[in-house]
Chain A
Amino acid sequence: MKTINIILHFALLIIALMVQIAFFEHLEMYFISFDIVLIAIVSITLLDGAFYGIIFGFIAGLILDLMVGDLVGVSALVYALDAFIVWKLVEAGFRSKLTSQIFLVFIVTEANLIITNLIRFLFNYQIDLPGMGLELLTLPVFNILLIIMFYPAIKIGISRGLEEFEFKYKNKA
C-alpha cells in the first residue's frame, strides 16, 4: 500500500510540474505567482517523510531545470533543501494543523527565494535587492492560498498514515 501511495504521489508531482509550466507560469505575467511544485513537495514530505521529499524534490527540480531552466540544478537543490527544512519543522511539531502548514509553506517559500538568489549571486548573476524584497513579501501569500486549498486532502492523508501506524503498532503489541 505504501509503495503504491509513493508511486501515486510521484505521478501527481510530475503532473503538478506540467501544470506549473503549462498554466501557473503563465499567470506570472500578471504578477500572480503560485508554485504548485513546492506545495506538492511539502505535501509529499508531510505524507511520506523526509527521504521521499528530498529525493522527489531533487527529481522534480531537475526536470523543471532541464525543461525550462537556464542554470540546471538550481531548482533541484532548492526543492531538496525545502523538503529537508519541512521535515526539520515537522520534527519540531508543525504538521497536522492548518496554521502549522501555512507556517511551513511561508518558511520554505522564503527559504526558496533566499537560496535561489544566493546561488545566482555566487554564480555572478545580478541581484535586484528591491525586487527580491518585494517577492519575499508577495510570494508566500500565493503559496499559502494553495496550501489552504489542498489542506483537506493533506489532512486526510496524514490521518490515514497515523491509522496505519497505530494498526501496525497494535498488531506488534
Chain B
Amino acid sequence: MINNRRFRNIIVLVILVFLCLVIITISFRGSGVTERIKASTLDFFEPVQGKISSFFNPITGFFSQVGEYIGLRQKYLDLEEENANLLANYAESTSIKIENDALRKLLDLDIREDNDTVAVKVIGFYSNRWQSEVIINAGTSNGVLEGMGVVGTNGLCGIVISAGNKSSTIRLISDPQSSLGARILSSRKLGLIEGSQDGTIHLHYISTDEEVYKGDIIVTSEYGQYLPPDILIGRVQEVSRISGNPYLEIIIEPFEDFKDLEYLMVIK
C-alpha cells in the first residue's frame, strides 16, 4: 500500500515536471495563448485580489511611512538645495515662457495637447531579481491597452505588458526586461533606459563625447508607440566612464518612488 502511494507520487511528479517544462518552453517562445490565459487569470482573481489589497493597504502604508522617515533629514536638505535652485531659475523660465508663447503665435504652432489618462489602483506587486511588476485594477474595458505608459504623481512608472478585461500588469522601469527610449532634457540626446537585476536604472548609448552632469533630467522620447514624449523619468545620479567602452555608464534615480505606489495614471 505504502509502496503504491510512493510510486503514485513519483509518477504524478514526473508528469507534472514534464508538463511544466512544456509550459515553460511555450511561454519562453512567446505564445499568444499564454498571454490570453494570463489576462483571463488576472481578471478571474481581480475581485478577491482587490479586496485583499485594500485590507493590507494600511500595513503597506505603515511600511512606506517608516521607510520615508528613515531618509527624512537627507531628503529635507536635498529639497532645500533644489528649492534654492528652482527659485533662481524661476524668473528666467517665466521670461522664456513669455517669449516662447509669442514665437508660437508668430509661427502659428499648436501647443502639445494634454493626454487622456485613466486613474487606477495598484492591487498587487511582484518583485524579484528578474522582475518588477505591479497589478492594477483596470483593463481593456477601461481603455487600457498593452504598451501604454503608466505614471505616478512624480513621473513615469512603467509600461502595460498584459491587459485583461478588468485588470492589467505593469512592468516597472526598474525591471531588468524593461527598455524604452529616453532623452536627456538639456542636451536632447537620445538613449535607452533599462532596468537591472540590482534594481538600478541605467541610461545606455550616450557617447563618451557627450557632457552629462549629475542632476540632468531624463524624459521619454517621441519614439514610443503609445508613450508620449517629454514625460519625466528621473535624474542622473551617477556618470562614469569605463576604459574601452564608447558609451557612458549612467545611473538614473527615478522621480517616482516604487515602494510607495498606490494610485497611478495610465496614459491613453
By a beta-carbon cutoff of 8 Å, the part of chain A in contact with chain B is 15, 18-19, 21-23, 25-30, 49-51, 54-55, 58, 62-63, 65-74, 76-77, 80-81, 84, 87, 119-120, 123, 125-126, 128, 131-132, 135
A50–B5 alpha-carbon span in the complex (Å): 9
B125 an interface residue at 8 Å Cβ cutoff? yes
Q: Could you show 5 A-B contacts with beta carbons less than 8 Å apart?
A: A50-B5, A67-B169, A76-B20, A120-B130, A123-B24
List, in ascending order, chain B residues with CB within 8 A of A19's CB.
Answer: 52, 56
B224 an interface residue at 8 Å Cβ cutoff? no
Q: How large is the interface on B (under 10, 10 to 19, 20 to 34, 35 or more residues)?
A: 35 or more
When A72-B34, A80-B13 are in contact, do A67 and B67 touch as well, CB less than 8 Å?
no
B133, A87: Cβ atoms closer than 8 Å: no
CB-defined interface of B99-110 with A at 8 Å, one 1/0 digit per residue? 000000000000
A67, B124: Cβ atoms closer than 8 Å: yes
Partner of A54, one of B12, B52, B127, B258: B12
List, in ascending order, chain B residues with CB within 8 A of A49's CB.
Answer: 5
A-side interface mostly: helix
B52, A67: Cβ atoms closer than 8 Å: no
A49–B135 alpha-carbon span in the complex (Å): 33
Mark out the residues of chain B between 24 and 50 whose CB falls within 8 Å of any chain A CB in the assembled complex: 24, 26-28, 34, 37-38, 41-42, 45, 48-49
A51–B125 alpha-carbon span in the complex (Å): 30
Top 5 closest pairs, chain A to chain B, by CB:
A73-B23, A68-B126, A77-B20, A72-B27, A73-B24
B17 an interface residue at 8 Å Cβ cutoff? yes
Mark out the residues of chain B between 108 and 154 whose CB falls within 8 Å of any chain A CB in the assembled complex: 123-131, 133, 135
A123, B28: Cβ atoms closer than 8 Å: yes
List, in ascending order, chain B residues with CB within 8 A of A80's CB.
Answer: 13, 16-17, 20
List, in ascending order, chain A residues with CB within 8 A of B16's CB.
Answer: 54-55, 58, 76-77, 80
B21, A28: Cβ atoms closer than 8 Å: no
List, in ascending order, chain A residues with CB within 8 A of B188's CB.
Answer: none
A71–B34 alpha-carbon span in the complex (Å): 10
A22, B8: Cβ atoms closer than 8 Å: no
Query: How far in angstroms is the closest Cβ of chain B from A54?
Result: 5
Partner of B9, one of A25, A51, A63: A51
CB-defined interface of B161-182 with A at 8 Å, one 1/0 digit per residue? 0000000010000001100000
B9, A27: Cβ atoms closer than 8 Å: no
A131, B9: Cβ atoms closer than 8 Å: no
B45, A23: Cβ atoms closer than 8 Å: no
List, in ascending order, chain A residues with CB within 8 A of B130's CB.
Answer: 70, 120, 125
B87 an interface residue at 8 Å Cβ cutoff? no
Closest to A70 in B: B131
B27, A30: Cβ atoms closer than 8 Å: no
A120–B133 alpha-carbon span in the complex (Å): 18
